[in-house]
Structure 1
Amino acid sequence: MRHAALPLGSLLLFLVAWQLLAASGTWSDTLVPPPAKVWDAFVTVSTTHDGVRGYNGTTLVEHLGISLRRIAIGGGIGIALGVLFGLLMGTVGRLRALFEPWITFLRTLPPLAYFSLLVIWLGINEEPKVTLLAVAAFPPVAVSTTTAVAAVPKSLIEAARALGGSRWDVVRDVVVPSALPETLTGVRLAVGVAYSSLVAAELVNGLPGIGGMVKDAANYNNTPVVLVGIFTIGVSGLIIDGLLLRLERAVVPWRGRA
């Protein structure tokens, strides 16, 4: 109860401050709608109302599900490639010198900087969206895995080789377990980066999709629906990060203890 009291208290304080700000009349309802209007918009986009199903014929849950599928495919590809490149660059110095500048260059680019190029190359369907999310998720995992692999104590590697371990045995039994905690941290960061790139990925032909819903509602100054989309992205992101944190604790229970 004590752990739940602070988050619930901060949420209640936020809602009270929001209501007071909306009721003050400083800004119009279009700019700062009251919480009741946002709740009505949430109910409207989540159900069939007056013969209209959700937003643009798709309910909120379906919008979110389509976006999560894009993140799962694109982010999954980026994470898998990031782990593979991280293992290779961490163990082979020449590969690190070859690829690390390009990965750093890619990591510093905002998604909008290359999304238009992806649309030109791949069209306006699912390919540029999935590719952008994969490109966004790749650098954090590659960097964290490379750093973790390079930081594995040499004494452990030499001890494993002295006991007759092959190169594969050393990688499987020494390098991977040692690098796994930092790699999972990189995975959490990659999922966060992919999620933050979601609206950018759905700028073009993003409906159905939660980011596309936010973009389309913004075009019509439909602020309540925009806020519903933003809150949905944030809450679902918190849930996903919590699940990844639980997975990390289950997979690497020794972290912080050894």
Structure 2
Amino acid sequence: MRHLGLPVGSLLLFLSLWQVVAAAGTWSETLVPPPAKVWDAFVEVSTTHDGVRGYNGTTLIEHLGISLRRIALGAGIGIGAGVLFGLVMGTVGWVRSLFEPWITFLRTLPPLAYFSLLVIWLGIDESPKVTLLAVAAFPPVAVSATTAVTAVPKHLVEAARALGASRRDVVRDVVVPSALPETLTGVRLAVGVAYSSLVAAELVNGLPGIGGMVKDAANYNNTPVVLVGIIAIGVSGLLIDGLLLRLERAAVPWRGRA
């Protein structure tokens, strides 16, 4: 009950404070709409209302689904490349020395810094959006996988070699299981970074898409729809992070117990 009651209580407290601030009239409803208006906007963009289907002809769940598909493809590519690259950098010293500064450089760049360049190179269709999400997701996984591989206990590697294991056997049976917990943490971080880059990825030709919906609504000062989009991104992000956390617990049940 405590695990359920605290989140519900904090949500009710937040909604109450939001209503109080909106009712106080310190800011106009354009800036701080009351929760009821945000709920009305949620209903409007989720259904067909007065002959208008959702927002810009697409319902909220469809906007969200298109964005999730972009994240799945882009983050999937970035995570897969990051895991492989981290494994190589963690096991081959000269590769790490060569590429680690470039990955650090890439990790410090905000998505908007190179999105315009991707648009110039790749156009305004799906390619720059997916590429941006892949580039955003790659560094956290590569760094975490590299750190995890280099932190594998040396005595385990030496014991495996003493028992006749080949280099491939050592990587498969010792390095990968030992590095898996830290790598999965990097995957969760990468998905979070991809989510935080979503609106940037959909700045150009982002409709349909939840980030594009947020940007388009902001252009017209449609704050309720902006808040609906932000809440949808946050809630879906929480659900996906919860699924990844369950996957982590299933894949590495020994974490925190040994």
TM > 0.5: yes
Task: Give the secondary structure class of the aligned counterpart of 1:82.
Answer: helix
Matched ranges for 1:14-163 at <5 A: 14-163=14-163
In structure 2, C-alpha distance between the alignment counterparts of 1:161 and 1:57, rounded to whole Å: 62
Q: Please name the residue that 2:8 is paired with.
A: 8
In structure 1, C-alpha distance between the alignment counterparts of 2:80 and 2:167, rounded to whole Å: 21
Taking only aligned residues, the RMSD between alpha carbons, in angstroms, comes to: 0.4
Task: Give the secondary structure class of the aligned counterpart of 2:26.
Answer: coil
Cα deviation, residue 257, structure 1: 1.2
The question of 1:197 aligning with 2:197 is answered yes
In structure 1, C-alpha distance between the alignment counterparts of 2:255 and 2:119, rounded to whole Å: 42
User: Number of matched residues?
Assistant: 258
Q: Please name the residue that 2:228 is paired with.
A: 228
Task: Give the secondary structure class of the aligned counterpart of 2:80.
Answer: helix
Matching residue's letter, 1:132 = L
In structure 2, C-alpha distance between the alignment counterparts of 1:97 and 1:125, rounded to whole Å: 36
Task: Give the secondary structure class of the aligned counterpart of 1:63.
Answer: helix
The question of 1:257 aligning with 2:236 is answered no
Give the % identical residues: 88
In structure 1, C-alpha distance between the alignment counterparts of 2:22 and 2:181, rounded to whole Å: 45
Cα deviation, residue 116, structure 1: 0.2
Task: Give the secondary structure class of the aligned counterpart of 2:77.
Answer: helix
The question of 1:167 aligning with 2:170 is answered no
Matching residue's letter, 1:210 = I
In structure 2, C-alpha distance between the alignment counterparts of 1:2 and 1:25, rounded to whole Å: 35
Task: Give the secondary structure class of the aligned counterpart of 2:188.
Answer: helix
In structure 1, C-alpha distance between the alignment counterparts of 2:78 and 2:29, rounded to whole Å: 41
In structure 1, C-alpha distance between the alignment counterparts of 2:210 and 2:133, rounded to whole Å: 15
In structure 2, C-alpha distance between the alignment counterparts of 1:124 and 1:40, rounded to whole Å: 32
Task: Give the secondary structure class of the aligned counterpart of 2:21.
Answer: helix
Please list every run of 5 or more consecutive structure 1 residues that lacks an aligned counterpart in the other structure.
Answer: none
Matching residue's letter, 2:242 = G
Task: Give the secondary structure class of the aligned counterpart of 1:221.
Answer: coil
Q: Which runs of 4+ in 1 moved over 4 A?
A: none
Task: Report Cα offsets for 1:90-130 as digits up to 9, x if no partner.
Answer: 00000000000000000000000000000000000000000
Matching residue's letter, 1:220 = Y
Cα deviation, residue 61, structure 1: 0.2
Cα deviation, residue 191, structure 1: 0.1
Task: Give the secondary structure class of the aligned counterpart of 1:57.
Answer: coil
Q: Please name the residue that 1:239 is paired with.
A: 239
Task: Report Cα offsets for 1:37-84 as digits up to 9, x if no partner.
Answer: 000000000000011000000000000000000000000000000000
In structure 1, C-alpha distance between the alignment counterparts of 2:152 and 2:25, rounded to whole Å: 59
Task: Report Cα offsets for 1:211-231 as digits up to 9, x if no partner.
Answer: 000000000000000000000
Please list every run of 5 or more consecutive structure 2 residues that lacks an aligned counterpart in the other structure.
Answer: none
Task: Give the secondary structure class of the aligned counterpart of 1:237.
Answer: helix
In structure 2, C-alpha distance between the alignment counterparts of 1:29 and 1:182, rounded to whole Å: 45
In structure 1, C-alpha distance between the alignment counterparts of 2:254 and 2:196, rounded to whole Å: 30
Matching residue's letter, 1:55 = Y
